[in-house]
Amino acid sequence: MAQERSSALFERAQRSIPGGVNSPVRAFRAVGGTPVFIDRAEGARLFSADGKEYIDFIGSWGPMILGHAQPDVIAAVREAALRGLSYGAPTELEVRFAEKIRELYPSMEMLRCVSSGTEATMSALRVARGFTKRDFIVKFEGCYHGHADHLLVKAGSGLASFGTPDSGGVPEAIAKTTLTLPFNDKEALAALFERRGSEIAAVIVEPVVGNMGCVAPQDGFLEAILEQCKAHGAISIFDEVMTGCRLSAGGAQQRFGLKPDMTTLGKIVGGGMPLAVYGGRADIMQCIAPLGPVYQAGTLSGNPIAVSAGLATLARLDAALYERLESLGSRLEQGLNEAVKASGVSACVQRVGSMITLFFHKGPVHSWADADGCNRKQFGVFFQGMLERGVYWPPAQFEAAFISGAHTEADIDNAIEAAKASLELVSKMKT
């Protein structure tokens, strides 16, 4: 396959940028080969620097739920840009944005805008620690909450793909304040709270995990988190940076009818611009400066261009969109399941709404211990097969694929055909 320009750019990139990329998973290390350099995108299509066209199932890792270059979003960004790029002073746009988030997420009585999901989770945890005056936080193995020091512990996503479960540069003393538990293990959670409940500031969780591949919570698991937190005076935090506005306009919490103390949002809320949000109960959020003692700030926080892209995106999250995503998701799930069966490969498909993963594992996958049993070599062959056939699937086993409102039934059917052929290649691998 002709990827000459991408290869040349990758060569050049590696001289100036570590690994040639500005975020590790883009380097294709988990699947081999050369990353595709992108020239432009439109709807459900990516166009590479090599002049090749791909059906995109990454959507910039989540944000592009309306598809790329959605005309209303682009128009909003253009209009905002003409009024200046950043003021470092409050705007009406931010007020409208905050009101819109509160309308979609009633659990978020107050909220702050920041510029990345990493900042959102880091800030939420600082506030939870400040509010409770406790140091320890609980997270679940395989959940990724951005790259803050205390969150790079058993953190799924890129770290899982590279077999480096913990990061260098994180002081032992900081990592020690993070307690980890298996996802979907209510008993382990209860046992931990029994022993150390009075020391725990917060429990943070991806309510549907996307960062070890798509893994749904089992019955009662999320409820148990809310109950344990309530009983022990800890703060429950739903990290909905991925699931927010993805599983419904009101995120996983709306889908499941749950009310966490705090929530983090990112990705979709910025419509492809650097924008994320953290918020929650007013009494907790009032701990933040200038009202309270917990400091958090940002030169570009609530940036008018980003907020404009966010508002234009949020305005288009209607019931019809989620029905369409469900129907396309179900079509892809069914097609992949049939393709798996026909190939005889040991694999399973897991989906919640428009998040989907083909695990090279007989399944089901409920936790990191299960996910870790996936055959990564088979995934690599599958991925390259898809790419060759014009389907841009996430370049790592432990990343969920996303469907957008811009995908058509024909796009889904093309992806299923590509998956059939790619699974056929996997079935012929020497073991």
Ligand X SMILES: *Cc1c(COP(=O)(O)O)cnc(C)c1O
Q: Rounded distance, CA 2 to CA 34, Å?
A: 11
Residue number, 34 or 404, with CB nearest to ligand X: 404
Is 239 an active-site residue?
yes
CB of 146 to ligand X, least distance (A): 4
Site for ligand X in 131-170 (CB under 6 A): 144-146
Among 116, 184, 301, 378, binds ligand X (CB under 6 A): 116
Residue 55: count other Cβ atoms within 10 Å of its Cβ: 22
Q: What is the SS3 assignment for 337-403?
A: HHHHHHHCCCCEEEEECCEEEEECCCCCCCCHHHHCCCCHHHHHHHHHHHHHCCEECCCCCCCCEEC
Considering only 25-33, 239-247, 248-256, 329-337, which stretch makes contact with ligand X by CB under 6 A? 239-247
Q: Does 207 bind ligand X (CB under 6 A)?
A: no
Q: Does 253 bind ligand X (CB under 6 A)?
A: no
Among 24, 117, 217, 304, binds ligand X (CB under 6 A): 117
Considering only 91-99, 206-214, 283-291, 348-356, which stretch makes contact with ligand X by CB under 6 A? 206-214
Residue number, 209 or 284, with CB nearest to ligand X: 209
Catalytic residue among 239, 261, 370, 411: 239
Residue number, 126 or 420, with CB nearest to ligand X: 126
Among 73, 205, 234, 242, binds ligand X (CB under 6 A): 242
CB of 36 to ligand X, least distance (A): 20
Q: Does 411 bind ligand X (CB under 6 A)?
A: no
Is 154 an active-site residue?
no
Residue 346: count other Cβ atoms within 10 Å of its Cβ: 15
Q: Does 367 bind ligand X (CB under 6 A)?
A: no
Residue number, 398 or 412, with CB nearest to ligand X: 398
Q: Does 211 bind ligand X (CB under 6 A)?
A: yes
The torsion angle over the Cα atoms of residues 306, 265, 269 and 242, rounded to 10 degrees, is: 120
Which residue number places its CB atom closest to ligand X? 117
Catalytic residue among 144, 278, 322, 392: 144
Q: Does 260 bind ligand X (CB under 6 A)?
A: no
Q: Does 24 bind ligand X (CB under 6 A)?
A: no
Considering only 110-118, 290-298, 330-338, 354-362, which stretch makes contact with ligand X by CB under 6 A? 110-118
Is 56 an active-site residue?
no
Residue number, 197 or 274, with CB nearest to ligand X: 274
Q: Does 270 bind ligand X (CB under 6 A)?
A: no
Among 94, 206, 261, 399, binds ligand X (CB under 6 A): 206
Amino acid at 96: R
Q: How far is CA 379 from CA 12, 18, 34, 148, 178, in A?
A: 28, 25, 16, 29, 31
Q: Does 65 bind ligand X (CB under 6 A)?
A: no
Q: Does 387 bind ligand X (CB under 6 A)?
A: no
Among 3, 6, 118, 184, binds ligand X (CB under 6 A): 118
- Point out which residues bind ligand X (CB under 6 A): 116-118, 121, 144-146, 206, 210-211, 239, 241-242, 266, 276
Q: Which residues are catalytic?
A: 144, 239, 267
